[in-house]
Structure 1
Amino acid sequence: MNKLILVAANTSDWALFLGHFHPLIVHLPIGFLLIAGLLELDRLTRRNSVSSHTITLILFWSAVSATMACVFGYLLSLGGGYDIETLESHKWQGIGVAVFAWVAWSVKSENLGRIIPFAQLLYLPALGVALMLLLAAGHLGGNLTHGSDYLTQYAPGPIRTLAGLPAKQPELKFEPITDVNQAMVYQQIVNPILQTRCVQCHNADKSKAGLRLDSPDMIKKGYEDGPVFVAGKGTSSELVKVCLLPEEDDHHMPPKGKTQLQESQIALLTWWIDQGATFDKKVSDLKVNDAIRPVLASLGGGGPVETGGQNVASTGPAPESPVLTMKLPAANPNVIDELKKTGLLVLPLSKEKNQLEVSAVNAHNFSDAQAVLLPKLSDQLVWLKLGDTEISDAALTQVAKLKHLQKLHLEQTKISDAGLKQLKGLTNLEYLNLYGTSITDAGLAELQNLKNLKTVYLWQTAVTEQGLASLKKAMPTLDIVGGITEKAVAEFAKTASETKGDEVKKP
């Protein structure tokens, strides 16, 4: 196995910052040396008169820039993840370019001739060696950046034969998904994402940060700082976290300029890790939640997705919900981009019907001020997840404008009873999560205005048994999760009824 250069523990940000300028600086000696070589070739073959001062000046700057490229290249190598043998060869070839460029300049400027007799004889050999080393160093630099087969990857058969190259590897093909329920999760869903978006920089030839993603064993091995995923914790795993960082962040993956993962692909990776990051299970073997169901359905042509041995329609948990079967107008791409800039994820629930889910899973600082953007998607926004964000009742003024909202997550936010009062116009709302909020019995009374509400989550709230009983009485079909048990609510309601009966009997 190839050894890798890893990041030194005491590497400063300044060193890594300057090192990232190496790809820019390295083009300067390439240009200067090639120009000097062409001018000398023209002078020798056509006897044209070229100013000696001009060539001397070009050679001086080629030597200076080559030296700078060596320094910046060394700083860049501290970032780690490069094949050590290739890196060492590239380093010494780069140093050789700088050394022979200085020799060529010293001779041309006649500085060396004052010290060494016949130094003029060294000029053309020094310039020639500098040019040859330049080509060799450039080739290895390309290998470090793009992989060892970058130049020859698409070489035609005749050229491969003449150069003694191995036969061209067949293009990577993935087994098509005809029935998403029977699809192998890693082989047919996760691996194609990794191969097309990640493996270019994380393979046997180039392992940035010591990470390889080209096989299950390498994925399990992780990278220089530890595991790349934590089974059961998708958004806490490095594999997902680096994809969710702003694209301008140096740690964002894939790097800026590379083809980025789609939000649906990030959702699939997160779901796979949440379900244990297994490498040998089918979709039907795992739990398919509401958020991932439409994404999986799109992989298999939009058909039903199976979970727990039963087919569940791809349109969501409640096929009878009118809002999930409505054909909505397409969203404005500029509006979607505007929401994404706040850190929100915007995911399609149905491409054909244009329904959207907006999630703040990676935008914990999302605030009331930013919530004014939400009504811009009022025609398309069906599922909204604002749990664990900085929003308060003021944000619910904007949420109340989302006329097609069917599912709303407000868990662990600063909302209060007054905020719930603003939601009474959400006639399509069926699911509401209020876990970890300060909601009281007064807030529960406001829920009675939501006639289509089917499920409400009330763990760790300030509601009482009496408030739950009143809500259950007003909305008998409502599924109340958390707070107190259904049995406790029933017993409290029974006790309250008996007490009331006793009071009626009293004289």
Structure 2
Amino acid sequence: MTNPLSKLNSILENLLFVWLGLSFILLIGEKAISLPPILQVIGRGHPLLLHFPITLILIGVIFLLFPSLRNNETFRDIGAKSLLWGSNLAGITVIAGLILAREDYEGDSLLWHQWAGMVTFWGASFIYFFQKRNLKQIAIPAVALGICLTLTGHWGANITHGENYLLAPLNPPAEQVPLAEAEVFDHVIQPILQAKCESCHREGKTKGELRMDNLSELKKGGKSGPFVVSGDLTQSLLTQRINLPLEEEEHMPPKNKAQLTEEEFQILTTWVESGANFEGKLVDLPQESELFQLASLRFSSEDSYDFEPASGSTIEDLNTYFRKVSPIYPESPALEVSYFGISAFEPSSLKDLQKIKEQLVNLRLDKMPLSEVNLDFLNDFPNLRELSLNFTELTAGQLESFPLLDQLEGLSLSGNSLTPDAINRIAEMENLQNLFLWNTGLNDSQKQQLSEQLPNTKIDFGFEGKDIILPLNSPKITQDRVLFSDSLRIELSHPIQSTTIRFTLDGTEPDSISSPVYSEPIYVKTSGKIRAKAFAPEWIGSEEITSVFMKSGLKPQNVELLTQPSPNYKAQLAETLFDQIKGKNNHTSGEWLGYSDKAFEAEFSLEENQHPTNIGISLLYHEGAYIFPPVKVEIMGWRNGKAETLISDQPTQSEKIREIRSELLTYKLPDGNFEKIRVKLYPIQSLPKWHPGAGAKGWVFIDEILLN
């Protein structure tokens, strides 16, 4: 009678030849063979299968390598059986790996891993049969098999985790780059891509035909489109995918991988929005830009400034309604000072800056009347790097005896008339890196002369397209926060100082004639939205820019969510709505309630002394991530136990994909004592035809309800 174990061994030995044949066919016929989907499923089991043969082959190698073990019949038998089972599983693993290799894998690591895996499988099969005939000569092949198995795992780890994954802990940590030397792409953007994206987009594994480990390949983009399009968040593959809801299959990084942090998300978004440049230093960005503000925190500024910071009380004392003093970026000891409000300017106030003479590196006096000011006061600031004196009515005498500030790197004198002697004086400032001379009355020969005298200075004489009318950039809105308790200060600015900024607070679109002109900071005390545009002669008015501001209101007695949000966007559930914490402009930040399959519905009870007259609903809009305005808003109130409809509104729907933004829907409530109020927001159930996801369900995202 045949021994069952002997019969099983015979089957396994014969199967080895089956796996050998199949693996050989798949290896040489990779391009010619078309495989059904079911085999792709088997291929994706490769990472799961590979651990079993590794363990069994290693047991076999150890039991056959050492004479004290292989000379023991029991141990020798265990080693042989481990090799037999391990070789069979290795064969299946190799076949699954060859199938998996057809899916977005390529490169040298893949090639080495494939052949090392084949050699490991063939070698294990060879040693199994060889040990039956010549057990004494088995040591050298066993050592070779162990080495081959290790190399197979090393190249496999390179494919899965990146180049040199195994030895990476032995490499010395990268040296901290000082802020002055940090490159925007190399030291800010690329480390994020390496940490969160490269594992699926590099040599050996190029999902979507996109590689991120090589700059030239990265710029080519993938099969779904360009990686980045300068300034375009909707056409850039990077921002498209990171903004998709986590449930979407194309959301990146995949939901089973480590997600971008809030800081990383904002850095990538602002990088694309600001032009997605692959070259240039971080310090060359405008210091008020969001990208600089975010990224500069990652680097040491010790090499740039060696002076002590000014005290917080000193900075607080210097801040007035006509002067702003602040660090050039968070945590920096270096300060910048800006003046505004021509009517409020007092030349004597410049003496106050003596308190921060060591820390002052950036001084902006644009549009201030300086014709009577002795500019020698500028010599008191030994670390002054940037000076802006645009449209300050400087006289010929002031410019012809302008202080020679050796440490100055940037100077702006636009809107002041320059005489020949003034030109010669400025030409003595050889350390200048940037010089702005728009509308200074220079002729072509004078411009040529100054350019020759300052060959190492980048001089901007302004735009002179006489017959071309171009649109202005939108102004910039600066506010410390969105949600405030008492009053909020809002500032508007534009890089071209000759522009006029007009704004509205009543919801109407600003125009160039009747809308208020911005001249000094605006203080608001109620919720609303500011809308602003820039205008200038011989220019087309800018696109509108908006920003919402929200006054924190009454907190009701208790709040209940009548419908539950998506598990991935549940924030702090009902507590979110009245916690007076404004959500960031990122739907994955964990501060938003997200609804798609059903309407948002919440109910809150009011105390007897609470009589709100207005209600505000704080929402997030981002069409690229399927987040739209609600198609309908219903607000109901209860008086004396009886319900009535207070508001029924259909907010204006989006007509195109725009940037991510906070919005505020405000409604006036009728007079009366309400016992409770219910708010219901209906998400769009079918995205419009113009949207890339036409027909799919949209989302409503809410973070606050404001009762005032």
- 2:104 is the alignment partner of 1:80: yes
Query: Residue 79 of structure 1 aligns to which amino acid in structure 2?
Result: E
- In 1, the alpha carbon distance for the partners of 2:268 and 2:128 equals 55
- Structure 2 SS opposite 1:312: strand
Distance 2:634 2:96 in 1: 52
CA shift at 1:92, angstroms?
1.5
Q: Which protein is richer in helix relative to its size?
A: 1
How far apart, in 2, do the equivalents of 1:241 and 1:9 lie?
35
Partners of 2:39 and 2:287 in 1: CA distance: 48
Counterparts of 2:273 and 2:603, CA distance in 1: 28
The 1:42/1:382 distance shift into structure 2, 3 A limit, reads same
Aligned partner of 1:171 among 171, 174, 189: 174
Counterpart amino acid of 1:356? G
The answer to whether residue 289 in structure 2 is matched with residue 62 in structure 1 is no
- Alpha carbons of 1:296 and 1:42: their partners in 2 closer, same or farther (altered >3 Å)? closer
One-letter amino acid of the structure 2 residue matched with residue 96 of structure 1: V
Query: Matched residue of 2:168: which SS?
Result: coil
The corresponding residue for 1:449 is 668
> Which segments of 5 or more consecutive residues in structure 2 lack a partner in the other structure?
1-29, 299-328, 339-472, 483-487, 491-523, 527-548, 556-560, 573-578, 605-614, 638-643, 657-664, 671-708
Q: Secondary structure at the match of 2:601?
A: helix
* CA distance, structure 2, for counterparts of residue 172 and residue 248 of structure 1: 38
Name the residue aligned to 2:445. Answer: none
Give secondary structure in 1 for the equivalent of 2:620: strand
Q: Would you say 1:97 and 2:120 are equivalent positions?
A: yes
Deviations along 1:384-418, one digit per CA (max 9) or x if unpaired, are 338666886666449x9xxxxxxxxxxxxxxxxx9
For 1:406-445, list aligned pairs within 5 A.
Answer: 421-422=647-648, 434=653
1:301 aligns with 2:300: no
- Is the partner of 1:384 in helix, strand or coil? strand
Q: 1:24 aligns with which of 39, 44, 48?
A: 48
Task: Kindly provide the amino acid, as one letter, of the partner of residue 621 in structure 2.
Answer: K
1:241-252 matched pairs, under 5 angstroms: 241-244=240-243, 252=251
8 Å Cα contact 2:63/2:76 also seen in 1: no
Shift of 1:104: 2.8
CA contact (8 A) 1:328 1:354 kept: no
Structure 1 residues 71, 385: closer, same or farther in 2, change over 3 A? same
Question: Among residues 154, 159, 164, which one is paired with 1:139 in the alignment?
Answer: 154
**Whole-Å separation in 1 of the counterparts to 2:629 and 2:98:** 47
2:271 matched residue in structure 1: 272
**Partner amino acid, structure 1, of 2:582:** Q
Query: What amino acid sits opposite 1:19 in the alignment?
Result: G
Q: Structure 1 residues 450, 86: CA separation in 2 closer, same or farther (over 3 Å shift)?
A: same
TM-superposed CA distance for 1:276, in Å, is: 4.0
Report the count of equivalent residues: 368
**2: CA distance, partners of 1:308 / 1:213:** 33
Determine if the alignment matches structure 1 residue 384 to structure 2 residue 610. Answer: no
> What is the RMSD of the two structures over their aligned residues, measured on CA atoms?
5.5
Deviation at 1:89, TM superposition (A): 2.1
Shift of 1:422: 4.4
Please list, as runs of the form range in 1=range in 2, the aligned pairs for 1:97-176 lying within 5 A after superposition: 97-107=120-130, 118=133, 123-155=138-170, 168=171, 171=174, 173=176, 176=179
* Paired position in structure 2 for 1:481: none
Q: Does 1:312 align with 2:312?
A: no
Q: Evaluate the alpha carbon distance shift between residue 40 and residue 215 of structure 1 in structure 2; reply closer, same or farther with a 3 A threshold.
A: closer
Structure with larger Rg = 2
Contact 2:57–2:83 (Cα < 8 Å) also in 1 = yes
Counterpart-to-counterpart distance in 2, 1:374 and 1:229: 43
CA distance in structure 2 between the aligned counterparts of 1:75 and 1:372, rounded to whole angstroms: 49
Report the residue type matching 1:371 in the other structure. F
The one-letter amino acid of 1:70's match is V
Matches within 5 A, 1:218-257: 218-223=217-222, 226-244=225-243, 252-255=251-254
Q: Say if 2:197 is the partner of 1:198.
A: yes
- Cα gap change, 1:381/1:447 in structure 2, threshold over 3 Å: closer, same or farther? closer
Match of 1:449, as an amino acid?
A: K
- 1:197–1:261 contact (8 Å) kept in structure 2: yes
TM-score, length basis structure 1: 0.54
Identify the residue that residue 598 of structure 2 maps to in structure 1. Answer: 369
Distance apart, 1:239 and its partner CA: 1.7
Residue type of the alignment partner of 1:131 = G
Secondary structure at the counterpart of residue 63 of structure 1: helix
CA drift of 1:262 comes to 2.2
**What residue in structure 2 maps to residue 483 of structure 1?**
none
Tell me if structure 1 keeps the 8 A contact 2:64–2:70: no
Q: Which moved more, 1:28-37 or 1:379-388?
A: 379-388
Amino acid at match of 1:219: L
- Amino acid in structure 1 at the alignment position of 2:110: L
Cα deviation, residue 90, structure 1 = 1.6
Q: Secondary structure at the match of 2:668?
A: coil
Find 1:355's aligned residue among 582, 585, 596.
Answer: 582
Take 1:38 and 1:247, find their aligned partners in 2: how far apart are those partners?
A: 47
Identical-pair percentage: 22
SS of alignment partner, residue 277 of structure 1: coil
User: Per-residue deviation at 1:23?
Assistant: 1.6
